[in-house]
A = this chain, B = another copy of it.
C-alpha cells in the first residue's frame, strides 16, 4: 500500500518505525480494541478496515466521535494521557499495527520528525471532531446526513477506497444515527429522502454519490480538505 498521500521517510526513520513496531494483529468486527477508563499497553495504527471511537452516557446513549480509516492512529490520546477517554471498536475485520506505548517516549526523544508527525495526526484528529461538532450542533438532520456522506467519501477517496462515485460503508444506520445525534428512525427517513432527491443511491452498504454538487448544497458545506499526511 504505497500511496503518494504519505510523505517520504528517511532511512533511519523507517528503521525506527520497524523497531517501534511491535507486531500486527487482526481483530474481528465488534471487537473493543480500547476501553474508556482503561490504560492500554498498546498503541495502534489501523492498517486496513474500519473502526470507530465513541463515548457513552451512563444510561447507554452512545455518541460516535469519529470513524477511523487506514493510516489513523488509535489510542494516542491514551498514551499521552493516563487513561483513555473513549472506546474504540472495530467496525469491520481490521488489521492493526501494534506499538508499545512506552516507546512513544523514545520516539519523541530520538525522532523529532516522527514526533512531529504524531502531533500532526493528533491535530488532524481534532480537526475532524471539530467539523463533526459543527455539524451536530448547527446543521439540521438532512444537512447532517449529507455532510457525513461527503466527509466519509472524501476520506475514503483519499485512501483510494472509492470506486468512481461509489464507496462501501460497512456500518449500519444505527452507527450513522449515533454519529449524527439523531434517532435511528429519523436517520432512515432522511436517507430515504436524500435518495429521492437524486443526490445519492444507497444499496447494500454501497453509497453512490450521484450528484456531489447537490449533496454539498444540501449539506450547506464548502469544506474540502486534501492534504498529504504522514504514515506511522
> Interface residues, chain A, CB within 8 Å of chain B?
53, 55, 57-59, 61-63, 65, 76-77, 80-82, 85-86, 105, 108-110, 112-113, 115-116, 118-120, 122-127, 129-134, 136-139, 179-181, 220-222, 227
Contact = CB atoms under 8 A, between A and B. Distances in A.
Contact of A227 (B81, B133, B134): B81
A105 B113 CA distance: 9
A180 B137 contact: yes
B139 A136 contact: no
A118 B55 CA distance: 24
19 contacts: A55-B134, A57-B139, A57-B221, A61-B139, A63-B134, A63-B137, A65-B133, A80-B119, A80-B120, A80-B123, A82-B227, A85-B130, A86-B130, A108-B119, A115-B115, A115-B119, A119-B122, A136-B136, A137-B180
B81 A131 contact: no
Contacts of A80: 116, 119-120, 123
Given A55-B131, A112-B108, A138 B81 contact: no
Residue of A53, A137, A220 with highest tally of chain B CB at under 10 A:
A137
A133 B131 contact: no
Chain multiplicity (copies) = 2
Nearest to A137: B181
A93 to B, nearest CB: 26
A77 B109 contact: no
A180 B116 CA distance: 33
Nearest to A83: B227
Contact of A220 (B58, B63, B119): B58
A76 to B, nearest CB: 7
A138 B63 contact: yes
Contacts of A118: 119
A127 B132 CA distance: 14
Contacts of A180: 137
Nearest to A132: B133
A221 to B, nearest CB: 8
A85 to B, nearest CB: 5
Contact of A105 (B116, B134, B221): B116
B108 A109 contact: no
